Amino acid sequence: MLKPFEVHIQAEPLTRFEHELDAASWSGFQGQAARARTLMAGRTFWNISSTARGGGVAEMLHRMVAYARGAGVDARWLVLTGTPAFFHITKRLHHALHGSRGDGSPLGQAEHALYDEVLRDNAEELLVLVQPGDVVLLHDPQTAGLAPALAAAGARVAWRCHVGRDTPNAEVVRAWEFLAPGLAAARLTLFTRAAYVPPQCADRALVIQPSIDIFAVKNQPMTPAVARAILASIGLLRGAAGAPEPVFTRADGLTGRVSRGADIMQSGAEPDPEVPLVAQVSRWDPLKDPAGVLRGFAILLRQSPHLRAELVLAGPAVTSVADDPDAAATFQDVLDLWRQQSHFVRQHIHLACLPMADLEENAAMVNALQRHAAVVTQKSLQEGFGLTLTEAMWKARPVVASAVGGLQDQVVHGQNGLLVRDPGDPTEFAGAVRSLLEAPEQAALLGRRAHEDVRAHFTATRHLADFVRLIERLDAPG
């Protein structure tokens, strides 16, 4: 029997936002919290996802549930369990919603029967916990098939899709046909962009963009010296005598130490701390196009051999994310491509698998890498929304991103970063990165503007107001 499990989250006080907001904004934020308490009195707000670690959805849920609890709402988070075959199907759906064939495997009746069987097992346990009138927010394709059982039990069910494609194709249509029976039972559907909404959800869709937690370990302030010490401790920078300890502050206020090393493929010595570093941090997913980043950086090196720069492609340890069965194969493809490069190119490109055993330690590693980077990239072929990019922008890093999906809502070309119009063109990507490396003052200006844009649009204060709107819509007659 497959059973979901609960991720226990402690409440985070909303008062930590008081010093980040002006008086009017703080008053409005308190008002939204009070409204949420009133709307959810006597009820539970359930979030259901497919993994507790790895990827933007899990990271966002950790913090949003904590702040909802801090607002006085009984918010909880459940993670469904599934078989390898189930996650193979849902990964195929994930690719299809982006318009990609993935591995080309079928999405027919047999696959639907297996998908439904896994979710029926999970639903049996959920129906013991979820009460009539409770709010249930299902996240992404893995959970959509739970909607009919939960709605029949009297829950107010909404489904949130964190991915999508601006211009639907046959694969997108195939994915929506697969998910249609489950989605028919959802009272509301949530999307990151209006362009992602399929026709069958148009009359019950809300657009809610993701956000980051500016107080999370991944985003907490960190001095350049500590960032370098952390990267040296995991093997991604050359160490220096007299460096500070590789430490960070955990969510509970205690001091944590980065003690685990990363699994790194590099030719020769660790990068020199004084040489500008270009970094992309993402899951090992072909749609994140780590291979394209490698190709583009190789072009940059060959075209500008005297330009001092290093590239780090970083992602989670390939066996650490339960619902991502493609990670190992994608990493192997990138590793094979790295091995095909000349010795000169390989010397300047470093592949890193970051340990996930301690999620806060992993977050400190990512924080250090992004803060040390001269340029952060997100060269996705398709992207629902780039949370990792938002984190880099919060850290005032100059960014280069593909002009696809939600990345276009985050980056205004030439204002707070650079957009690559053709995500499949490694030469255009190389030129954008080169322009930032050769003009550090302009790059710094873009980074400062990026920080302010994230403060204005992509933090938890805005997200809480969106969820109050969601609850009001779910409770509305009809």
**Domain locations in the chain as residue ranges:** 5-211+459-475, 217-457
Domain 5-211+459-475 and domain 217-457 have a common topology: yes
Q: What does pLDDT average to over the chain?
A: 95
Calculate mean pLDDT across residues 15-26: 93
Give domain 5-211+459-475's CATH number out of 3.40.50.720, 3.40.50.300, 3.40.50.2000, 3.40.50.11600.
3.40.50.2000
What is the distance between the alpha carbons of residues 437 and 446, in angstroms, rounded to a whole number? 13
Query: Is 72 strand, coil or helix?
Result: coil
- Output the pLDDT for position 323: 58
User: Under a CB-based contact definition with an 8 Å cutoff, are residues 373 and 400 in contact?
Assistant: no
The radius of gyration of the chain's CA atoms, rounded to the nearest angstrom, is: 22
Calculate mean pLDDT across residues 3-17: 94
Calculate mean pLDDT across residues 197-207: 95
Calculate mean pLDDT across residues 326-339: 94
**Residue 53 binned pLDDT confidence (cut-offs 50, 70, 90):** confident
Q: How many CB atoms lie within 10 A of CB 12?
A: 23
- Output the pLDDT for position 301: 97
Calculate mean pLDDT across residues 441-459: 96
Q: What are phi and psi of 191, to 5 degrees?
A: -135, 155
CATH topology of domain 217-457: Rossmann fold (3.40.50)
| pLDDT above 70 (res 379) | yes
- Output the pLDDT for position 320: 59
Q: How many CB atoms lie within 10 A of CB 239?
A: 14
**Residue 321 binned pLDDT confidence (cut-offs 50, 70, 90):** low
Supply the angle between the helices 440-457 and 387-394 in degrees, to the nearest 10.
110
Query: Is 340 strand, coil or helix?
Result: helix
pLDDT per position as a tens digit, 341-354: 999 999 999 999 99
User: Under a CB-based contact definition with an 8 Å cutoff, are residues 326 and 100 in contact?
Assistant: no
Please give the model's pTM, rounded to 2 decimal places: 0.88
Tokens of 346: 């390989």
What is the distance between the alpha carbons of residues 251 and 70, in angstroms, rounded to a whole number? 14
Tokens of 230: 């952390």
- Output the pLDDT for position 362: 96
Residues, the chain, total?
478
| pLDDT above 70 (res 265) | yes
| pLDDT above 80 (res 55) | no
Segment 98-103 long-range contacts (CB within 8 Å, at least 24 positions apart): 98/163, 98/164, 98/165, 98/171, 98/172, 98/287, 98/381, 98/382, 98/384, 99/165, 99/167, 99/168, 99/169, 99/171, 99/172, 99/382, 100/171, 100/286, 100/287, 100/381, 100/382, 101/171, 102/326, 103/326
